[in-house]
């Protein structure tokens, strides 16, 4: 999967979790029609960082998917999206 297609797929943490699961499970990748062989992931605070290494070139890409939140008025707890 190209970095461009991956960035379109990663619209939030739920799709990111599906990609993480598929990276760890080649059979799931095959069922979804994904080739994630050039992708790795690293869990980071509030999200996931995906890195792409193309063995046919020297190019690399990184995509960070994070949990977004909005502060509530007057010191309220954050509202997570």
Give the pLDDT means over successive 10-residue stretches in the chain (81 positions).
90 89 95 94 86 77 60 51 45
Q: For residues 67 and 64, what is the distance between their CA atoms, to the nearest angstrom?
A: 10
* Structure confidence at residue 75 (pLDDT): 56
* Structure confidence at residue 80 (pLDDT): 46
* Structure confidence at residue 12 (pLDDT): 82
* Structure confidence at residue 69 (pLDDT): 47
* Structure confidence at residue 5 (pLDDT): 92
User: Angle CA(46)–CA(64)–CA(56) in degrees, nearest 5?
Assistant: 145
Q: What is the pTM of this model?
A: 0.73
Domain boundaries along the sequence of the chain: 3-80
Starting at the edge strand found earlier in the chain, the sheet holding 39-44 runs: 39-44, 47-53, 60-66
* Structure confidence at residue 60 (pLDDT): 67
Q: For residues 19 and 40, what is the distance between their CA atoms, to the nearest angstrom?
A: 10
């Amino acid at each position: 999967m190209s970095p461009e297609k991956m960035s379109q797929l990663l619209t939030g943490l739920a799709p990111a979790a599906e990609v993480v699961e598929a990276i760890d499970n080649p059979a799931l990748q095959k069922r979804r029609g994904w080739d994630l062989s050039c992708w790795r992931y690293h869990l980071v605070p509030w999200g996931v960082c995906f890195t792409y290494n193309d063995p046919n070139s020297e190019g690399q890409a990184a995509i960070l998917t994070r949990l977004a939140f909005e502060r509530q008025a007057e010191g309220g707890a954050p509202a997570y999206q």
